[in-house]
Amino acid sequence: MATKKAYVKQIKGVTFMGKTDSNHWVPMDGPENFGGSDAGTRPKELILLALAGCTGSDVAVILQKKKINLDGFEINIAADVQETHPQVFTKIQLEYVFYGENIPKEAVERAIELSQNTYCSVTAMLKNSVEITHSYRIENSK
């Protein structure tokens, strides 16, 4: 079993810098009224980015292997947050948007299914604690 490591350093107040084994620094911060400098992404927001980045990478690679040409690909994320503390996500909706001509919907649906049910480790970690739903659109090139 592999072990991943992370390091987080307080800069000031609730401003932190973190890095993992890939050795890339990520700023994290809170709003000024919470002791932050408003100079970085909120830690909870990073979870949404991690989820979309993980599943997006899977879908892009699967479609590439199927030789599906895309002119563009985006994921829109919307998350409902519990009003009381801890203010956890209660539902996350992913909308995959594919741009291009003649993109077969069956290939898109299969790529999303494989990511959501087999490959995306972030989905696997979150799905037992938050409802994750998804939809997709195929649009003509921008």
What tens digit of pLDDT does each residue of 8-51 get? 999 999 999 999 999 999 999 999 999 999 999 999 999 999 99
| Whole-number pLDDT of residue 111 | 98
| Stated length of the chain | 142
Residue 142 in this model has a pLDDT that exceeds 80: no
Q: Check if the beta carbon of residue 80 is closer than 8 Å to that of residue 90.
A: yes
Each as own residue / partner, the long-range contacts of residues 46-50 (CB below 8 Å, 24 or more positions apart, any chain) are 47/89, 47/122, 47/126, 48/77, 48/79, 48/89, 48/92, 50/122
Q: Check if the beta carbon of residue 12 is closer than 8 Å to that of residue 4.
A: no
Q: CA torsion, points 67, 72, 73, 77, in degrees to nearest 10?
A: 180
Q: Check if the beta carbon of residue 71 is closer than 8 Å to that of residue 100.
A: yes
What tens digit of pLDDT does each residue of 92-114 get? 999 999 999 999 999 999 999 99
Each as own residue / partner, the long-range contacts of residues 78-84 (CB below 8 Å, 24 or more positions apart, any chain) are 79/48
| Whole-number pLDDT of residue 141 | 78
> At the topology level of CATH, where does 43-139 sit?
GMP Synthetase; Chain A, domain 3 (3.30.300)
| Whole-number pLDDT of residue 15 | 95
CA distance 117 to 55: 10
Q: Check if the beta carbon of residue 14 is closer than 8 Å to that of residue 44.
A: no
What tens digit of pLDDT does each residue of 48-106 get? 999 999 999 999 999 999 999 999 999 999 999 999 999 999 999 999 999 999 999 99
Phi/psi at 20 (5° precision): -120, -165
